[in-house]
Amino acid sequence: MLDLDGVIWVGGTPVPGAAEAVERLQQLDAPVAFVTNMSALTVADQEAKLASCGIDATGSVITSATAAGQLIHPGERVLVVGGPGIDEAVELAGAEVCSSGPADAVIVGMDPGFNYDTLSRAMRAVRGGARLIGTNHDPSYPTERGLEPGGGSLLAAVATAAETEPTMAGKPNQPIVDCVRSRIGESGVVVGDRPDSDGLFAEALGYGFALVLSGVTGPDDLPVTPEPQHCAPDLAALVDQMEFE
């Protein structure tokens, strides 16, 4: 299970050697999947972004929006705070995307246009009885400019204003665990740059955890909890290390 932000790319810049490392993994007799907490993009857009890096990920991408869609029921009205990826998941669940008014659920993910009006509409819907669902808890994500606020930061604002606890969908929570286990099976390795999401995700799955230092976590942050079974500067070095071992 390969994370995307901080493993395959940082912002719009591919991590050197990542595409070649993925190709080596795909040549092994084991499935390779790309599992991301980034909910803004549709699955097809994530596949296209991977293709632009030289990686064939057709049918192999699982997002936190995909997991959030498992928590929605057909016919519901869902207020979306986020991007097209969440809209897609809601519509696939047979529900209606709305931007205001009464709602059965509010899903919060990455939304670069988030502002006070967005916060107010989401808060009122939750206080009016809507379930609050978070695509992920990640407070930040890596870009070329450094760390930027993640979907978890926006979710925290809505949860605080609504005075409620959200149901979580993405890594390391049960909805995305179920998505992965149904596709991959009972054993595997999670590769990521965040112990608090990727590492705990590996624990929830009962998989191994491999940490790369090309994203949020750097050498100065070590040691981390949970402790990874493998740790390397980037994906290419990690694949070298695991093949050697």
Rg of the chain, C-alpha, whole Å? 18
User: Which residues lie below 8 Å from residue 223, measured CB to CB, with a gap of 6+?
Assistant: none
Lookup result for tokens 């624990």: 203
Residues designated catalytic? 3, 5
Lookup result for tokens 């071992």: 245
- Whether omega for the bond prior to residue 14 falls within 30 degrees of 0, making it cis, is no
Cα separation, 199 vs 84, whole angstroms? 27
Q: Which amino acid is at 69?
A: G
Cα separation, 173 vs 232, whole angstroms? 25
Write the burial class of residue 180 (CB in 10 Å: 0-12 exposed, 13-18 middle, 19+ buried). Answer: buried
DSSP 21-62: HHHHHHTSSS---EEES--SS-HHHHHHHHHHTT---TT-EE
Helix or strand (DSSP H, E) at 81: strand 77-81
Cα separation, 48 vs 58, whole angstroms? 9
